[in-house]
A and B are shown apart, each in its own frame.
Chain A
């Protein structure tokens, strides 16, 4: 298995809702990432997990809450989002270390109404 699987593919949520994005990989990668991408912009890093521990939080608002329950799974919990949070959310994984590239999932298109 050489894929990163993200669910759901599309999500519409109200500003008072709570929802979660899920990301899964079975490549044995021990680093996992959340990126946010707005239209016609490059992806922006949000969070990094290394060996299931949060190693980087790029000053992301607390309405985004990441979780890494095990080495294969990464969640992003969403609560009280704003319309400007609408974007494509991308999950990625890699081996820990300097020589490795990243594998990205197909993303979750989030719309906040």
Chain B
């Protein structure tokens, strides 16, 4: 059974810091991994989608890497801002059940001025 874990569970940092959020999955049989952002009480906003054949994807200040063989992905946030405060979720799409995303446990990020 695929299990997806995110470390740390919560993070509080001053504005301007570079951050690394971690996502680990137990089964490497994935098609892709997607990073989402969720503001309190709101829906999920897709940040980056990495296919299993890719090593990384970048969008603005965000960079996500994927090491499928070791079951790890990292989300790097450069020069963090208070507006980055949210919960960040990773999710994997399985090769043997492509209809089902398996979500990680989430990292709650607070960036203070």
B60 interface hit (Cβ, 8 Å) = no
Whether the pair B103, A43 counts as a contact (CB closer than 8 A) is: yes
With contacts A42-B106, A98-B31 taken as known, whether A90 is within 8 angstroms of B98 at the C-beta atoms is no
Whether the pair B32, A101 counts as a contact (CB closer than 8 A) is: yes
A72 interface hit (Cβ, 8 Å) = no
CB distance from B72 to the nearest CB of A (A): 18
Across chains A and B, the number of contacting residue pairs, with CB separation under 8 Å, is: 54
Whether the pair B36, A104 counts as a contact (CB closer than 8 A) is: yes
CB distance from B28 to the nearest CB of A (A): 15
> A73 CA to B63 CA in the complex, in Å?
34
Which residue of chain B is the closest to A88 with respect to CB atoms? Answer: B41
Judged by DSSP, the binding face of B is strand
CB distance from A81 to the nearest CB of B (A): 19
Whether the pair B41, A109 counts as a contact (CB closer than 8 A) is: yes
A21 interface hit (Cβ, 8 Å) = no
> A56 CA to B101 CA in the complex, in Å?
12
Judged by DSSP, the binding face of A is strand
Interface string of A95-109 (1 = CB under 8 A from B): 001110111111101
How many positions in chain A have a CB within 8 Å of any CB in the partner chain?
25
Q: Among residues 33 to 59 in chain A, which have CB atoms less than 8 Å away from a CB atom of chain B?
A: 40, 42-43, 45, 48, 50, 55-56
Whether the pair A104, B43 counts as a contact (CB closer than 8 A) is: yes
9 contacts between A and B (CB under 8 A): A43-B44, A56-B99, A90-B43, A98-B31, A99-B31, A102-B34, A104-B36, A104-B44, A107-B43
